[in-house]
Amino acid sequence: MSLAMADFTFVTALVRQRSAIDLQPGKEYLVESRLAPIVRATGEKDIASLVTRLRRGDDKLSNEVVDALTTNETSWFRDTHPFQAFSQHLLPELARSGCRTVTVWSAACSSGQEAYSLAMLLLDWLPNNPGLSAQIIGTDISARMVERARAAKFSQLEVNRGLPAPYLVKYFEQIGREWALKPAVKSLTRFERGNLALPPTNIPTCDVVFLRNVLIYFDLDIKRTVLGHIRRVLRPGGYLVLGGAESTLNLDGTFRRMELGRAVVFRHSGGAS
C-alpha cells in the first residue's frame, strides 16, 4: 500500500493545518501504517482512493486521519523522574508559597495516564497538607482520546505499562476485563479537547504545566506559539515540565531552567518573552 509523494504532501498539510504537527519527508512509512486501518475500515481500495476522498472535503474522514496521525504514546509515570520532582519538590514548594489550590494542566494528555498519575500523587500528598486542594485539567486534540480519558477504564495491558502495583490496588477496581479508576481519582480531573497551537480555552491559571514529548513534533514558529500560550496561563513562579529532549532555550526567554534531582523543569520568571 504505497503512498505517492503528492498524496503524502496533501495529508501532511492537512495534519499541519488541523493539529500543527509537522510531518517531514521521511515519515512516509508512518503515514502509510497509520492510514492502512482507515483504508480497510472505509472500504477504499488503497491510500490513493482515501486521499481522493480527503481532497473532496470529507470532514469526518479528515478528522479520523488527523486523529490517526496524532501520536498517542503514553504510560503511567512515564520516565519516572518528572513525577518524582512533582511530588518531592514542586508540591512542597507550592505549599510553602501559600498556594491553596494546586492547579495542573496535562497538555496533550492522550488517554489520561499522565493526568491520572499526577492525581494519584496528589491524593497521597493532600492528607498531609490540610486546607489544600487540587485540580487537574487534561487536554488533547483527539476527541477519541479525550473520551477514553474521561471513561477512566484501562485494559490489563495498559495498567501493566508503568503502574506500580500498590497504586493498582489502592486506586483501581476491576470491572470485568478492565481496570476502572476510583471516584476519588476521577474527581480531581477533567478532560477537554484542545489544540495547543490555538489560545487555550477553559484553562484556569496554572501552577504546573506538563507538556512532555510534544514540542518535538512542531516547527520552530509553532513551538514559540505554544510556549507563549502556556506562559499566559502559567502563573509567574509556576513550573513547566517538558520531555527529556525538550527545552525552552532560544524559544522563550521567560523560563528559567532548574534541575530537581534527576529531572529538569522550567520556571516561569514573569513578564513577556
Q: Judge residue 195's burial from the number of C-beta atoms within 10 Å of its C-beta, 0-12 exposed, 13-18 middle, 19 or more buried.
A: middle
- Please tell me whether residue 56 adopts helix, strand or coil conformation: coil
CATH number belonging to domain 5-68: 1.10.155
Amino acid of residue 96 = R
Domain ranges in the chain? 5-68, 81-268
Q: Among positive and negative, which fits the CA dihedral 60, 62, 66, 68?
A: positive
Strand order across the beta sheet in which 178-181 lies = 153-155, 178-181, 172-175
How far is the CA of 2 from the CAs of 6, 36, 44, 45, in angstroms?
A: 12, 10, 14, 12
For the domain spanning 81-268, the CATH number is: 3.40.50.150
Average pLDDT over residues 20-40: 83
Q: Phi/psi at 263 (nearest 5 deg)?
A: -115, 155
Q: What pLDDT, in 10s, does the model give residues 101-128?
A: 999 999 999 999 999 999 999 999 999 9
71 pLDDT above the threshold of 70: no
Q: Which tens digit of pLDDT belongs to each residue from 256-273?
A: 999 998 899 999 987 655
Half-sphere exposure of 12 (CA within 13 A, CB side): 20
- 130-166 residue pLDDT tens: 999 999 999 998 888 999 999 999 999 899 989 999 9
